[in-house]
Chains A and B, each alone.
Chain A
């Protein structure tokens, strides 16, 4: 029962992730691809998606964005990723059980930036900000599942 209770705790995170994805349409992605230089926070959100999917990101480098030092995004890889017609669907079907502790750790420096949240991303670039919640929810799911799985195994 304890395991079930813990899993129930992860449910809101998963629901949030799904609704975050459902708020994004192929049209939003198309509009984003048309931008030569999207807002910085959007580039960083896409880095989180790249890391979760084990796709390439550049060597860590830092830049000043509105007075805060933040990691620089690897946007050329993000554009490649968006070129896949099934991009959004692949996130809906993302194998969240395959997330590991290392990946969650690699995402933390992004989450630490003061502007890395849904509201500021939404202001900067509309619906694709949902990816910010999606990435955070994936990490949250992993942290909960890690505690629950050994209990289920017993």
Chain B
């Protein structure tokens, strides 16, 4: 019978060993622990060794919390899609460097915690549980945010089901005027103009 979960520490050691083997944890710039069987359930303290890691991917696992990011001094992109994460917590440790946060296919209903990630350029958060404009308004605190993905959230589905996606786009742009791409489509001049009114 298979173990219930893969310890993060073990997955990390295996990645560090790599096909060639032998890279020390603190030298790795890219770490991908995606789609492990059995899934990873916890971000543990072994992650602290990833001093130079710029891209950390833990998508397609079974994480229910974000944590143990202290020590990832160089982290630019964090990929946590398709887990069971409910809130954006414990991001303070990487808020000064984080440029991309990928959290689609989780159970996030509030974006509280995102405000501190002032370097953020990309937020992919499709298929979560965001249902209020108040959550989108939090993104106004991010001066560099260019790409936002909200498809499949209750807020998006409500406007889509009312055949009102063009208006939805303008509503998002009113709140987050820095966006260049929304839901995969470039923001055009007319939309920007409509959002200014």
Instruction: Show the binding face of A for B, using Cβ within 8 Å.
Output: 54-57, 59-60, 62, 69, 71, 95, 97-103, 105-106, 108-109, 112
- Smallest beta-carbon distance B149→chain A, Å: 7
| CB of B88 closer than 8 Å to a CB of A | no
Contact A69 B37 (CB under 8 A): yes
A60-B62 contact in complex given A108-B34, A108-B35, A109-B35, C-beta closer than 8 Å: yes
A105-B184 contact in complex given A56-B127, A57-B82, C-beta closer than 8 Å: no
- Smallest beta-carbon distance B81→chain A, Å: 5
CB-CB under 8 A from A62, the residues of chain B are: 37-39
Segment of B19-27, B53-61, B67-75, B171-179 in the binding face: B53-61
Contact B79 A60 (CB under 8 A): no
Q: Which of A60, A102, A112 contacts B104 (CB 8 A)?
A: A102
In the assembled complex, 16 residue pairs joining A and B whose CB atoms fall closer than 8 Å, in A order, are A54-B104, A54-B152, A60-B61, A62-B38, A71-B35, A95-B184, A98-B183, A101-B102, A102-B59, A102-B104, A103-B104, A105-B34, A105-B81, A106-B81, A106-B82, A106-B105
Provide the main secondary structure of the chain B interface. Answer: loop
CB-CB under 8 A from B37, the residues of chain A are: 62, 69
A56-B152 contact in complex given A105-B34, A109-B34, C-beta closer than 8 Å: yes
| CB of B195 closer than 8 Å to a CB of A | no
Measured CA separation A101–B184 after assembly (Å) = 11
Q: Mark B15-47, 1 if CB is under 8 A from A, else 0.
A: 000000000000000001011011100000000
Contact A105 B105 (CB under 8 A): no
**Extra contacts besides A59-B84, A105-B57 (5): CB < 8 Å:** A54-B152, A59-B62, A62-B37, A100-B149, A102-B102
CB-CB under 8 A from B35, the residues of chain A are: 60, 71, 108-109, 112
- Chain B residue with the shortest CB-CB distance to A53: B151
Measured CA separation A23–B151 after assembly (Å) = 30
- Smallest beta-carbon distance B121→chain A, Å: 13
Contact A105 B79 (CB under 8 A): yes
| CB of B126 closer than 8 Å to a CB of A | yes
| CB of B163 closer than 8 Å to a CB of A | no
- Chain B residue with the shortest CB-CB distance to A64: B2
Contact A95 B185 (CB under 8 A): yes
Contact B104 A109 (CB under 8 A): no
CB-based closest 4 A-B pairs = A109-B35, A98-B184, A102-B102, A54-B151
CB-CB under 8 A from B184, the residues of chain A are: 95, 97-100
Measured CA separation A39–B64 after assembly (Å) = 31
Most buried by A among B2, B34, B81, B82: B82
- Smallest beta-carbon distance A49→chain B, Å: 14
- Chain B residue with the shortest CB-CB distance to A56: B127
CB-CB under 8 A from B59, the residues of chain A are: 102, 105-106
